[in-house]
């Protein structure tokens, strides 16, 4: 799988699409660690709109990823590189972040499947965007997207969040307005 440049991957810089951030990650971000535990092979980090700003996918700090279906069309952003990598067939799925359309827009423009999970469903000690950003998958099809989502979702254990710097939210019970809806944490009958 590929990983958006917003997530830490041990041994690689996390630049957030900029030309000036150079911090090399000492360890994997929680979603990346979960993917590795599930057997995923991280093949690289993907381009993104600078600091997650922008819905077209345009990059000021480097080349803009090309929409594989039409080189003259925008790929969408800010998870442009993740959607392009999947749509071009380079990887079956990619990790992305969404705070205002950054998974959904590039997935739609590149013809792949993106899922923005409910806030807190995929815990992430994302210090870059802790209040609105969520982690989710972009896949070549619904199956690849669901497989990645199942590896990512679930409450964080104390071991996973040690040193995260802020509490992670994962609802144990559905909110009152969702009473009567089927519990989707058990997908064995799907």
pLDDT value, residue 176 = 54
pLDDT along the chain (190 residues), means of 10: 95 92 92 94 95 88 91 94 98 94 96 92 67 88 94 80 46 53 51
pLDDT value, residue 186 = 52
**By the 8 A CB rule, do 84 and 106 touch?**
yes
Residues 6+ apart with CB under 8 A from 72: none
pLDDT value, residue 35 = 95
Q: Judge whether 45 counts as a catalytic residue.
A: no
Whole-prediction pTM value?
A: 0.82
pLDDT value, residue 62 = 84
Which of 4, 45, 79, 116 is flagged as catalytic? 4
Q: Judge whether 131 counts as a catalytic residue.
A: no
Q: Judge whether 102 counts as a catalytic residue.
A: yes
Dist. CA 135–CA 122, nearest whole Å: 6
- The b-or-e profile of 51-73 (16+ CB within 10 A means b, else e) is bbbbbbbbbebeebbbbbeeeee
pLDDT value, residue 170 = 44
Which of 78, 80, 82, 124 is flagged as catalytic? 78
What the block records as the tokens of 26 is 């000492």
pLDDT value, residue 165 = 42
Dist. CA 116–CA 20, nearest whole Å: 28
pLDDT value, residue 107 = 98
pLDDT value, residue 60 = 84
pLDDT value, residue 83 = 98
Which of 79, 82, 102, 124 is flagged as catalytic? 102
* Long-range contacts, 163-172 (Cβ 8 Å, 24+): 164/30, 164/125, 165/125, 165/127, 166/125, 166/127, 166/130, 168/120, 168/123, 168/124, 168/125, 169/119, 169/120, 169/123, 170/120, 170/121, 170/123, 171/120
């Amino acid at each position: 799988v590929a990983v958006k440049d917003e997530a830490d991957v041990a041994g690689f810089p996390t630049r957030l699409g900029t030309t000036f951030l150079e911090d090399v990650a000492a360890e994997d971000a929680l979603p990346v660690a979960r993917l590795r535990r599930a057997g995923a092979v991280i093949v690289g980090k993907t381009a993104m709109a600078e600091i997650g700003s922008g819905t077209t996918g345009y990059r000021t700090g480097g080349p803009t990823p090309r929409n594989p279906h039409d080189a003259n069309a925008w790929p969408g952003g800010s998870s442009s590189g993740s959607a392009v990598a999947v749509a071009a067939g380079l990887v079956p799925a990619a990790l992305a972040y969404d705070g205002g359309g950054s998974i959904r827009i590039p997935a739609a423009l590149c013809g792949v499947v993106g899922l923005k999970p409910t806030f807190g469903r995929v815990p992430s000690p994302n210090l870059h965007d802790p209040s609105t950003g969520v982690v989710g998958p972009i896949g070549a099809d619904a199956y690849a997207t669901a497989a990645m989502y199942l590896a990512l979702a679930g409450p964080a254990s104390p071991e996973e969040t040690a040193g995260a710097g802020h509490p992670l939210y994962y609802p144990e019970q559905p909110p009152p307005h969702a009473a009567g809806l089927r519990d989707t944490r058990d997908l064995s009958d799907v």
